[in-house]
Amino acid sequence: MMFRSRKMAKALLMTGALAISSVATAQVDQAVLDRGKEVSALCVACHMESGAGSSIPGVEYRPRLTGLDAGYIQHQVESYKNGTRVNVSMKPFADLLTEQQLHDVAHYYASLPAVKAEDFKVEASEETLALGEKLVYHGDWNRYIPACVACHGVDAYGIGNTFPNINGQNPAYVKKAINDWKEDSRTNDPLHLMSRVAKRLTEADIDAVAAYLASQPAAKEEKK
C-alpha cells in the first residue's frame, strides 16, 4: 500500500517537473493569429466563434478551447491524428490540418479570452459540489486520489502545455474525458497519470468533480 502511494507521489513530482519545464504560449506574430483565425472557420460550427464550445445533449459535448495553452491544443489534435485520442467527429478535421495550420489555429484560440459556453448549466446539490471541491483541492489519499490542483496548478487554471485549465468547462465533456481515461480509450496523458487516477474515481466522484469545475469561472482573473 505504501509502495503504491510512493509511486503515485513520484509520478506527481515527475509530471510537475514536466509542467514547470514547459513554456507557456509565447507572444506570437499577428500574422500567425490572422492565419489561425482563418483556419478556425473549420472549428466554429462545433466550438463556436467564441471558442467556448457547445453541446448536443446525449450525443456530443464540444469543449471550451479558449483559456488553453497552444501547445496543449496542438497535442490534442495530434492525438486525434495518431489515435491516442478517439472522436469520430474530430478525426477528419484533425487529418485536414497541416502542421502549420494546426500551429496557427492553436495559437489563435490560446490568444482568446477564456469564456464559458452559454448552453450548459450546472445542476448539482450542495453536497455534490462540496465533494467536488474536496477532490479538486485535497483529493482522497485514502484511495490514492491526488488533488486536481497537484497537477493542474493553483485553483486548477492549468500549467503550461501539459496540464490544461479545467475550470468553466462543460461538465458532460469533463465526465466523458475522465471516463475515456478510465476505460483506456484515451491514452495521451503524460505518464498515464490521468488513467491511473480515473480508475480510482467512482461515478459519484466524477459527477462531483465535473460539476464543481463547471461552476467555476473559466478565466482566473474572474475568480473571487
pLDDT of residue 2: 40
**CATH H superfamily, domain 30-111:** Cytochrome c-like domain (1.10.760.10)
Q: Which residues are annotated as a binding site for heme c?
A: 43, 46-47, 90, 148, 151-152, 194
Partners of 163 in beta bridges? 159
Q: How far apart, in whole angstroms, are the C-alpha atoms of residue 173 and residue 195?
A: 16
Angle (nearest 5°) at CA 178 between 139 and 69? 90
Pick the CATH number of 2-22+119-222 from 3.40.50.11310, 2.60.120.10, 1.10.287.40, 1.10.760.10: 1.10.760.10
- pTM assigned to the model: 0.86
Query: What is residue 10's predicted lDDT score, i.e. its pLDDT?
Result: 45
Q: Is 140 helix (H, G, I), strand (E, B) or coil?
A: strand
Which helix (H) or strand (E) segment holds residue 54: the answer is strand 54-56
Annotated binding site: 43, 46-47, 90, 148, 151-152, 194
pLDDT attached to residue 25: 43
Q: What residue spans in the chain does CATH classification 1.10.760.10 cover?
A: 2-22+119-222, 30-111
pLDDT of residue 224: 62
**pLDDT 10s digit of each residue in the chain, 224 long?**
444 444 454 445 444 444 443 444 457 899 999 999 999 999 999 999 999 999 888 889 999 999 999 999 999 999 999 999 999 999 999 999 999 999 999 999 999 999 998 767 788 999 999 999 999 999 999 999 999 999 999 999 999 999 999 999 999 999 999 999 999 999 999 889 999 999 999 999 999 999 999 999 999 876 76
User: Phi/psi of residue 25, each to 5°?
Assistant: -50, 120
Q: What is the pLDDT of residue 121?
A: 79
Q: Which residues pair with 96 in a beta bridge?
A: none
